Structure formats: structure tokens, C-alpha cells
Amino acid sequence: MNIAVNDLKPSFPVRRMDYVFENTERYWMANDPIATHYFTSLSLLFPEGEKYFVESVRAVRDLVKNNPQLEKDIGAFIGQEAMHSKEHHAFHATARKYNLDPDSLEKNVGVILRKYFTFGNPKLNLAITAGLEHFTAVIVVEMMAKISHEMTDDTIRHLWLWHSIEETEHKAVAFDVYQEIYGSGVSAYLPRVAMFSLGVAMLFTVQTDMMIRLIARDKQLGNLKSWAKFMGTIGLGLPALTPQFLKYFHPKFHPNDTDESQLVAETKVRIGLADALTTIASRSTALPA
Ligand SMILES: [Fe+2]
Ligand SMILES: [Fe+2]
């Protein structure tokens, strides 16, 4: 029975990575302390944060059994996010090396998520996940198009670009699971946008706190030149993304309303991913002659 269902494949692959971060410079982001600590603090959210995403989707997996393709994609989503957790934890060697104790901060993210953001209601956990997946999907476009060019270490750049590609590949999974189970009416829409707002507020608060702690531990709080550079780049760049973030509030929003396939194909070539040529071949067969 169900030969066709058994033959279904996920829409995207799970790639096994095992990065080794050796001989990394102290300030690998644009040779700049504040920018480096900003991205380390962003990364510190991932090991525990992506575990939360996995758990929130896994908790409702049985409710999408009647959509075999989505079920397959949930498996690949879990595989990708679990690998991101593992590799970003490994990446924190770049801060451990300079005695910034990233592990205490990483652990604290898990404590906060369990204490304040894990609800008895799986719908709300899933809504936080779907919302933060949209936030991530917006950020990774900037990462692929601009930010990664400022990274001075090849392995670090590879990590962030691989993660960005995969975030784009699975950007619709949590959202589709949410709508498959809860629909798109008012009773689904309101928790969806409320949890997105709460999730983004939590992310900014926790990340900013960790960033300040890293900068203080590195004795760079008084580095006004670096702060000025940061405010002129990331400080201005992030608010400029507000229109993309706000698209999530449209009642008919869907993650696939935007198409990043060209940027993803170029990024795969940049970092030499094994499936880059397949992607380009399938794109060119889809193009008119
Ligand atoms: Fe991820
Ligand atoms: Fe994700």
C-alpha cells in the first residue's frame, strides 16, 4: 500500500557538517569587536533556540499525517535544525578561545526558553517557531547578499552561508504545519502574529543582553570607534528590514511569497556545496530556451 507515499522525498536535503574552528582571529567580522560580538550573540541563540523549534514541530507531527509531503519535510526540517544547533555550538569555540565564556550564555537561553516561552499549548509554541522562522528568513537574505562578505575567516563564512541556504530551503515548513493544523482564520491569525511579536521582542532582548556581556568580558564597552561603526552599519541596516518583517502581519502572508532561489543558487556555488550544480541544472531546464 501507499507505494507513492513511501517514494516521497523531502523537498530539501539534510547536509551533515562537521566544522573545525581553528586559528580564528579574535575579530572575524570586519576586523571589528562590536560587529563580531553582535554575530556571536546572534549565534548563541541558535543551539537552544533551534532545539525549541524542533520540539515545537515534533510535538504536533502526528497531526499532519494526512499530508505526506509535509510530513517528509518535517523530518528534513528537524534534521537541518538539529545540525544547525550542533554546528553553532561548535562555532562558539571562536569565543571560548578568547575566554569569553559563551557556554554560560548559551545555557541561559535554554533556561529562558523553558521558563518563559514554553507554553502548555503546542499551538503557541509552534506559532513562536513559525514567526521566528520568518524573522530568520529575512535576515539570511542579508547574510547571503551582503553581511557574509565582511567575514574574514573562510570556515566561519561557510558556516553562516550553509545555515542561510538551509533556512531559506525550509522557511515554509513550520508555517505550513501551523496552517495545516489550525487553518488561516482569525483564531489562527491572531496567535500567529501575537507570538511573532513576542518572539521577536524576546530575541532582541536576550541577544542584546548577551552581546553587552560579551563586549564587557572582552573589555570593549568603551570602544567608541567600533560602536560608531556598528551603529552606522548594522544599527541602521536592521531597522531598514522592518517592511520585510511586517509582511508577516498580512492575513494572506505565506513564506514562499518571496523567491530567493537565484541568491541561494549563487551562494551554493560560492561555498562549493555538492548540490550546487544540480540546482543550477534544474534552474536552467526550467528557464525558457
Ligand atoms: Fe537553523
Ligand atoms: Fe529554521
* Burial of residue 239 (number of CB atoms within 10 Å: 0-12, 13-18, 19+): exposed
pLDDT bucket at 274, cuts 50 / 70 / 90: confident
Residue-level pLDDT at 6 = 72
Q: If pLDDT is split at 50, 70 and 90, which confidence band does 284 have? A: very low
- What tens digit of pLDDT does each residue of 64-100 get? 999 999 999 999 999 999 999 999 999 999 999 999 9
Amino acid 277: pLDDT: 57
Q: How confident is the model at residue 27 (pLDDT cuts 50, 70, 90)?
A: very high
CB of 178 within 8 A of CB of 261? no
Q: How far apart are CA 239 and CA 232, in angstroms?
A: 12
Q: How far is the CA of 283 from the centre of ligand 1 (A)?
A: 25
What pLDDT was estimated at residue 7? 82
Torsion of CA 225, 229, 230, 234, to 10 degrees: 180
How is 190-236 classified by DSSP, letter by letter?
Answer: HHHHHHHHHHHHHHHHHHHHHHHHHHHHTT-TT-HHHHHHHHHTHHH
What would the pLDDT profile of 129-185 be if each residue is shown by its tens digit? 999 999 999 999 999 999 999 999 999 999 999 999 999 999 999 999 999 999 999
Residue 281 has pLDDT above 70, yes or no: no
Task: Give the pLDDT mean for 50-77.
Answer: 96
Q: Give the Cβ contact number of residue 36 at 10 Å.
A: 28
Q: Supply the pTM of this predicted model.
A: 0.92
Residue 36 has pLDDT above 80, yes or no: yes
Contact (CB, 8 A) for 151 and 29: yes
Read off the pLDDT band of 287 (50, 70, 90): very low
Whether the per-residue pLDDT at 282 is higher than 60: the answer is: no
Q: Once rounded to an integer, what is the mean pLDDT over residues 19-32? A: 95
List the shell of residues around ion ligand 2, using CB closer than 5 Å: 167
Q: Please name which ligand lies nearest the alpha carbon of 174.
A: 2
What mean pLDDT comes out for the span 225-250?
95
Rounded to the nearest angstrom, the distance between the alpha carbon of 225 and the centre of ligand 1 is: 32
Q: Report CA(233)–ligand 2 centroid distance (Å).
A: 25
Query: Rounded distance, CA 124 to CA 103, Å?
Result: 28
The pLDDT mean for the chain works out to 93
Residues, CB within 5 angstroms of ligand 1 (ion): 50, 81, 84
For the segment 247-253, the average pLDDT, to the nearest whole number, is 98
> How many CB atoms neighbour CB 269 within 10 A?
13
Return the H-helix or E-strand segment holding 127.
helix 122-145
What is the reported pLDDT for 120?
Answer: 87
CA of 43 to the centre of ligand 1 (A): 10
Percent pLDDT > 90 in the chain is 89
| pLDDT reported for residue 93 | 96
Q: How far is the CA of 167 from the centre of ligand 1 (A)?
A: 6
From ligand 2's centre to the CA of 159, what distance in Å? 14
- What 8-state DSSP symbol labels residue 185? S
pLDDT of residue 288: 35
Cα(289) to centroid of ligand 1, in Å? 36
Among 146, 117, 174, 160, CA closest to 241: 146
* Closest-approaching ligand to the CA atom of 171: 2
Confidence of residue 190 (pLDDT cuts 50, 70, 90): very high
